Structure 1
């Protein structure tokens, strides 16, 4: 009896999470990050090839080639709504692998597109596949992790999401420098098939049978009502939408700000990479510290930092155009703060929704991605040759998110959650 108690006392504590199959923690992170990066790759890798695509299809309006990006982003945002209920009904693994295969088929079809219209159809199909991958990946993570462990994993994955924009355009440029732009689609299709094989071998189904939900409209509607009426889930989802609005404002406006206002020219890519690196570092720091400090402490401090910096940016913009070094530094701090907010806000919003993780992921993902993209697009359309529009957007979105979180937390910030 004494020996048994001694063994219990000296045994290493079991982890507070479970992994889906014969896969280690590090491999799981790499696989989930690779699956998540499909979305960023599908957008950023094509930026250097847009001109070649327009020339090959003899587009008369240069703006038409941007539809290659728009068709994907809009379709991706909308179709997330459908994959959540499917993931909660039929499970994660089969839907994940099916989405990867569908994405691969669409990619290979795009590499042989006979017309621009056909190319856009394949881009929509790519978005559908990527949407299924994104929803099932998030659901698997929610099935396996909770609380601070989930925030830690999401931070590692979000770091990858932030790093991809640094080298994806360079990868696309490298492909078209030695081959035609069609080979970009071949590259994406091949990568998707390899990921499908990896998932088939290593990932087991993570949805418990008792948590499978009906596809009946009433069941889905009930889940939507639960999400929208849950104070924490709804509040942090809305706050995340505003922060993603700030991110998309940056993405849409940064080229004009750096080139048209500050005349960086060939230094634009380096400056853009600098901001992306800052976000990636912040997200990685969050992954290392969130289990010790907590999701709310980390994200609330970063939110206050974002609002403070954006207020300074807004005041300077009212006075005139600040020097580039000042503007770049303020943007970098704001984006680093965003890197500490995004993963934590998503994890906090998902925390009370484990039993409907698929539907919750799809609804929250649609709200934050599509809503943020619309807000960012409006800010981009307001560009007037000054930094005032983006400075106003940063401060307005950040302050609005702060008010929402204060209301959600009943006036208390920096509280310590359990788990």
Structure 2
């Protein structure tokens, strides 16, 4: 008998290049929905009369609240109702949230729309990963995922540039028009070309008892919880930067329309780390890479904060970019490896486990990001100190996970 973890439930029906492009677009809705908005945050805050800078930053932060909740729903939904139904429901919810944002007359209305958007975007994200696992396994899956990652890396680099172009030609509301058009185009492409990959005989009826049992397994497993908490701390620190990036580059450094290019440079650091990790992980191992990256990111946090102090809160732009590029490279190594190590003990409950782990880490990251962003007014001190505190907590969480 073949190991269940080494079998697939479907066969490829699309040419590999088309399949990779389609799956990459489905998974990239998250990055597109976040990064394309960044150049418009100041204008959105002015038009909708935001109470303060932190309320503007919430347009990014609350997205992860919705995505955390959405993953909890769509994880078991994808196993019970199939991949196509999951993508359909997810895209419809995403479109509804996009319309709310497009028609928003207040910041509160926009934030509600962002949460709805994020709940919906969890559907394509969960289902696309499940489709890949349905069709490919082992080295074949790793090969497909590496190609998808190469395409996916381009989205955080290009999305702010596209957002800036839309902003220059139209208004911030048409960035949401772009999201809606993308959802329609990708949805039509998917339903026209990709058949269902989970047969009715392989589906698992949704059970609240199963969800509770899975949560108990995760909460009681030292390794899973330790790595998940570490992911939440690291992602929370990174999310604080992501939410405030437009303020940092356009308000503090006065980069104007060049902001997307600085953002793309730092996004490239994370993408470069993903490619590096893909080539090194089989030689060195996940644990060793994570340990080196943790030491690297803590060193970066200390050095960055010292540099900020040296220039009284705001170092020269080129020093900030170079220092953050190095730090984000280490963060890029940690993202994928910590998630893989958290998933490793979960075996047959991998789908539901992925949804729960993703939800816990996202929902933990949001208050961390908000606590850091609340102190960002005129300097980078909160970013530097936030990195020191939460990267150190991530280090302790990994040690907890690996304790015998």
**TM-score calculated relative to the size of structure 1:** 0.78
184-193 or 148-157, which deviates more:
148-157
Distance, in Å, in 2 between the alignment partners of 1:348 and 1:153 is 20
| Deviating more after overlay: 160-169 vs 377-386 | 160-169
Deviation at 1:140, TM superposition (A): 3.3
Counterpart for residue 296 of structure 1: 287
Q: Mark the CA change 1:141 to 1:238 in structure 2 (over 3 Å): closer, same or farther.
A: farther
Q: Is it true that 1:350 corresponds to 2:339 in the alignment?
A: no
RMSD, matched Cα: 3.6
Alpha-carbon distance in structure 2 between the residues aligned to 1:152 and 1:295: 18
Map residues 16-415 of structure 1 onto 2, 5 A cutoff: 21-50=12-41, 59=49, 61=51, 69=60, 72-104=63-95, 106-107=97-98, 111=102, 113=103, 115-116=105-106, 122-143=113-134, 157=148, 163-207=154-198, 212-255=203-246, 257-258=248-249, 268-316=259-307, 321=312, 324-383=317-376, 385-410=378-403
Separation (CA, whole Å) in 1 of partners of 2:138 and 2:76: 23
Q: Within 2, Cα distance between the matches of 1:220 and 1:68? A: 30
Q: CA 1:387–1:167 in 2, change beyond 3 Å: closer, same or farther?
A: same
Distance 1:269 1:196, change over 3 A: closer
- In 1: Cα distance, 2:14 partner to 2:40 partner: 37
Give the conservation status (yes or no) of the 8 Å contact 1:306–1:334: yes
Tell me the number of residue pairs that the alignment of Structure 1 and Structure 2 aligns: 394
Report the 3-state secondary structure (helix = DSSP H, G, I; strand = E; otherwise coil) of the residue aligned with 2:326: helix
Deviations 1:196-244 (A, max 9, x none): 2332244444447676434232121011112222333222211111110
Cα separation, 1, equivalents of 2:376 and 2:321: 17
Deviation at 1:336, TM superposition (A): 0.8
Instruction: Name the CA distance, whole Å, in 1 between partners of 2:178 and 2:248.
Output: 32
Cα distance in 1 for residues equivalent to 2:216 and 2:200: 23
Alpha-carbon distance between aligned partners in 2 of 1:394 and 1:60, rounded to the nearest angstrom: 27
**CA displacement, residues 112-165 of structure 1 (integer Å, 9 cap, x when unaligned):** x38447665544432222122222233334555667776666566556555433
What's the CA shift string for 1:25-44, capped at 9, x where partnerless? Answer: 44433322211221222223
Greater alpha carbon shift after TM alignment, 378-387 vs 186-195? 378-387
The 1-side partners of 2:277 and 2:300 are apart by 19
In 2 relative to 1, CA 148–392 (structure 1 residues): closer, same or farther, beyond 3 Å? farther
Q: Which runs of 5+ in 2 are unaligned?
A: 1-5
Q: Distance in 2 between matches of 1:378 and 1:295?
A: 30
Provide the C-alpha distance between the structure 1 equivalents of 2:167 and 2:309, rounded to a whole number of angstroms: 43
Structure 1: 5+ residue runs without aligned partners?
Answer: 1-15, 412-419
Q: 1:211 to 1:409 in 2, by over 3 A?
A: farther
Distance of 2:167 and 2:210 partners within structure 1: 48
Q: Tell me, what secondary structure is at the counterpart of 1:186?
A: helix
Distance in 2 between residues matched to 1:329 and 1:161, nearest whole Å: 23
Aligned partners of 1:338, 1:328: CA distance in 2, in Å? 15
In the other structure, the counterpart of 2:3 is none
> Quick check: which has more Rg, 1 or 2?
1
Question: Scaled by the length of structure 2, what TM-score is found?
Answer: 0.81
Moved more, 142-151 or 211-220: 142-151
